[in-house]
Structure 1
Amino acid sequence: MTPSKPLRIAVLGTHSTGKTTLLKRIEMELRGHGLTAARTGRLGKRAAAAGLPKMQHHTAQSTEWIMAQGVLDEITAAAQGAEVILIDRAALDAVAYFEAAMAFRSETPPRLERERLLTLASTQLPKYDLLFATVLDETVPVDTSHDYDAGFRRLVDDRMHRLLANNVIPHQRVTSDPDSQAHAVDIAVQRCLKEELV
């Protein structure tokens, strides 16, 4: 691996399905093997801090901001010499949230706007060396400090997996099962170590 082409591992999925925890575990393992890893994230909170709507209030504008900021974070991490970039919320994630928000509000996204956002997200897909998609398990309790709408959370999960399937995007599904989580960490670490040896 060279600093000009870091390995990129991205994750997407509805909220509170273990995305950040998974990436933290991968990061710790990689650091244990002496690899420099950078983790992106907190895009929803940063969008809200910038005055943009989030969750079920997402708009095309907030969706585009999240994708653009995520790309900027990746470029910054690469410029700073990260060997591995761990992307908390792949670009397609933002499109799924947008579609779910529109469905939640019983609105139909303008066709050209949806296509434009999908095109923007699709330009990022070839950069991901690994893509993990978390799977919603409603039996796992969520952090009670968050005011999540259960219906919206399901909509995001549905749109996420539908987008992946309809566009035949290669990815690894990760469930809440500890074995599934451990397997995902192992896949990521082995891929990074293999790339390092090439």
Structure 2
Amino acid sequence: MTTTSPIRIGVLGAHSTGKTMLLKRIEMELRGNGVTPARTGSIGKRAALNGLPKMQKHTVASTEWIITQGIADEIAAAAQGADVILADRAAHDALAYFNAALEFRGEQIHRLERERLLLLASTQLPKYDLLLATVLDKTIPVEQKHDYDPRYRVLVDHHVHALLAAETIPHLRVTSDPASQANAVAQALEIYLKAAAV
């Protein structure tokens, strides 16, 4: 990962593992240091509004749309002059969700199609200065308003961390432990402060 302008911090992980809350905490710290970051998000909701399947029904098309929409959102934030971009669902997140959906349904796709999606996600890696991967804590209950399939959620968590390991992608694992959360926020702030001092 390289430190360039703007700073890009991406988060990925299973649903309801604190991705959005973690980015909100980082945003608050950055604002406290005089910088207003741009935060992307709601990609899954926008995909559904466009008639694309989500969660365990993900397809090649929905995965490609989410990856490219995330790329477009980050490009737009950079064009608007953001010093820091907080990407809620870094590119590999969509790929992990798709891999989990395939396993959940017991399906396979053509090797070239899988490689194409991986290549698309991988083109974004050099842009990130920090990737944060949340870790599923099964002891924390999911809000009742969410109708998540628990097996799919576990599969997403597995595929997020398996993908990061298989591709040897530098990242910071973030658990539900307060110390782990605080460390992630501190790392994000340190990256910005170092870049700002140059």
TM-score of Structure 1 vs Structure 2, range by shorter chain: over 0.9
Q: CA deviation at 1:5?
A: 2.3
TM-score (normalised: structure 1): 0.97
Tell me how many residue pairs correspond in the alignment.
Answer: 195
| Long gaps (5+) in structure 1 | none
What whole-Å deviation, never above 9, does each CA across 1:96-136 have from its counterpart, x for those lacking one?
A: 01110011011012211110000000000110000000001
Q: Report if aligned partners of 1:11, 1:19 keep a CA contact under 8 Å in 2.
A: yes
Is structure 2 residue 33 aligned with structure 1 residue 33?
yes
Q: Report if aligned partners of 1:11, 1:89 keep a CA contact under 8 Å in 2.
A: yes
Corresponding residue of 1:95: 95
Instruction: Give the residue type in structure 1 aligned to 2:44.
Output: G
Structure 2 counterparts to residues 1-198 of structure 1, below 5 A: 5-198=5-198
**Other structure's SS at 1:76 match:** helix
Q: CA deviation at 1:190?
A: 1.2
Distance in 1, matches of 2:178 and 2:132, equals 15
| Long gaps (5+) in structure 2 | none
Distance in 1, matches of 2:125 and 2:144, equals 33
CA RMSD of aligned residues (A): 0.9
**Other structure's SS at 2:25 match:** helix
Instruction: Give the residue type in structure 2 aligned to 1:183.
Output: N
Q: CA deviation at 1:142?
A: 1.0
Distance in 2, matches of 1:191 and 1:14, equals 25
Distance in 2, matches of 1:142 and 1:76, equals 33
Q: CA deviation at 1:194?
A: 1.0
Distance in 2, matches of 1:20 and 1:161, equals 18
Q: Report if aligned partners of 1:99, 1:109 keep a CA contact under 8 Å in 2.
A: no
What whole-Å deviation, never above 9, does each CA across 1:116-168 have from its counterpart, x for those lacking one?
A: 00000000011000000000100011111010000000001111111100111
Moved over 2 A (4+): none
**Other structure's SS at 1:8 match:** strand
Distance in 1, matches of 2:110 and 2:55, equals 19
Q: CA deviation at 1:36?
A: 2.4
Distance in 2, matches of 1:125 and 1:190, equals 20
Distance in 2, matches of 1:135 and 1:94, equals 16
Q: CA deviation at 1:191?
A: 1.0
